[in-house]
Chain A
């Protein structure tokens, strides 16, 4: 394998990894606060892509405006899901919330199948993204560097939100202790809604960029990327935002490297992600950046 090809693979891996990171953050934030695995997150990812698709189709706005609008719409949908399916179960046994999450996922996928139709739709990719660009000897599509760049911007924005604003402080407080946070005059409901909004917005961005990369969308497109992003979150340490970012990039790069070095096994790329999951669960269940919680006997 030549250096050029290797670098191209690294670029690809970064691209994929940043998408995983974007989606993984939503999982990790929700788990940190609610101890809930939001199975529906992958379908939010899918809804983001469809939102942009229809916005572009129906309104002839500039692409970036549609992009922003799609993200906002998806964020709203994420908040609606939380209100309808998770908030009523906040004091219920955790299995109920989990089943509710799976049910919502099921529901969104089927509604998607019914409303959007099961056939994959071609996604309109603006010219800019498909143009090639040379960095030295390496030729990459514009898209390949736009994705990590845009993701970085979004991740930086998120980091600012979580670590430098009061709202972010509230989120972190709730993830440690919800009851005490309430006593400290934190509006738990609003903060949780904000968490879902932010997570869904990031997932929408991820979904759109995914659709730009693989320009065919279908209502079930969120399942596998969602699962892999979840694995990335676990890899990095579920509940830890830096962990989600790290996990996302790691998983993306590992996956691309697997396909690059062992092309015969490329059909197993999905299974590889699950293998990573199992290995990390056995070796360090709290994840690379997570903290062990010992049970008091």
Chain B
């Protein structure tokens, strides 16, 4: 079977594959360098308020991408994200609060051991927050991941609420309803927040474009068939759920540091819902979509603040109404969901293919003395369905949305078909008809 026969012919030219990979790596490194320069400039020159918005945007990216992994890619409708955020936030806060603050703020009950002696640098604290959330997710997942669709949603919602109520009721650890104040603001730094966001995106996109990621998609599409085809469903669901929770915990930890206060009310269902909106509006199964939409969402929410101040529209005078922007915002979101059901990106993902393809064609053309368009004309035509076939399956028994084609990695890459061979099977004798 595999490996025991040396193929005289391979479907892909290894040198082309390698070259494409190198090109893409170069593109990524260049953009990383540009981004770093941009962050450096922004951190230097922007005021506190815009910086805070950008930091918040990065945290929303982390939260959205992690929920997208659980729901968009694996199809698990989890409404418990805020619970994991809460765990990460509390753990990180308790580890980074200065001892002096700890002594002062715990009014309801003195801080219990070991939290009153434990302390850690911010990096360790954030990682610890993520890991604790991950462990919780593992334990919660054991019973809960058997459920499907709506039931999974309400079970995870239930757990998140339990976590919140518990946080409210163990003042010796969480300071109850008073919450924790004076959390050090290490996250008030674009390098920190966007660094973590970059790591989240890198990790999750790597996970999703790997063979394991295909298993996630298979589970999303048809869990029963996937299991019969050899996919270890429970294992992969757990991996997806726990990974998403770890990053939610990291996001929560950063959020706590950015806002410097946390209390159980922060981590209610509304928070999960906002992240869910970002994920759905950006496109289930599209990491690019989550990133862009998280940015847009954060910026727009702030941009709507002036609505609350009171304004005139000709003869109409609207008085100052605090909270109005949330009303407007929820209306806008409703409209988006009503009319734009597949989300902004609908499962498509950004990749460097367009650039690499163009560069390759140019390179190949020059070596053969052809123009790129002539070269394109000679390429074999891949199959394109004649009508825009309806790939939606209306009989999905577990009530999920029609997630779009989650093409994780790009197929162009894995192709790298050489043009000499022109391996188009349509022109070739089929061996089995």
Contacts and interface: CB of A to CB of B under 8 A. Distances in A.
Contacts of B341: 92-93, 96
A274 B224 contact: no
A185 to B, nearest CB: 24
Interface in B275-311: 276-277, 280
Interface in B383-405: 397, 399-402
Interface stretch (A10-18, A102-110, A186-194): A102-110
A100 B323 contact: no
Contact of B280 (A94, A99, A268): A99
B165 A107 contact: no
Q: Interface size bucket, A side?
A: 35 or more
Given A99-B276, A110-B326, A230-B154, A85 B147 contact: no
Interface in B302-334: 321, 323-324, 326-327, 330-331, 333-334
B161 interface: yes
Interface in B151-186: 151, 153-155, 158-159, 161-162, 165-166, 168-169
Contacts of A198: none
B273 interface: yes
Contact of B273 (A89, A102, A113, A234): A102
A35 B150 CA distance: 9
A271 B169 CA distance: 10
A270 B327 contact: no
Contact of B161 (A35, A95, A227): A227
Question: Which of B147, B169, B338 has the most A CB atoms < 10 Å from its CB?
Answer: B338
B109 interface: no
A114 interface: yes
Nearest to B225: A297
B144 interface: yes
A17 B246 CA distance: 38
Given A99-B280, A106-B273, A277 B155 contact: yes
Q: Interface size bucket, B side?
A: 35 or more
Contacts of A231: 158
Contact of B327 (A110, A278, A297): A110
B100 to A, nearest CB: 29
Interface string A61-93: 000000000000000000000000100110011
A114 B328 CA distance: 12
Contact of B337 (A99, A267, A268, A285): A99
B155 A281 contact: yes
B333 A110 contact: no
B77 interface: yes
Given A37-B150, A102-B273, A274-B161, A96 B401 contact: yes
Nearest to B177: A267
A1 interface: no
A91 to B, nearest CB: 9
B270 interface: yes
B166 A271 contact: yes
A113 to B, nearest CB: 5
A274 B158 contact: yes
B166 A268 contact: yes
A25 B237 CA distance: 34
Given A106-B273, A270-B161, A281 B326 contact: no
B144 A89 contact: no
Given A114-B321, A275-B158, 12 more contacts: A37-B153, A93-B400, A94-B399, A95-B401, A98-B153, A111-B327, A114-B324, A230-B154, A267-B168, A274-B161, A278-B143, A295-B397
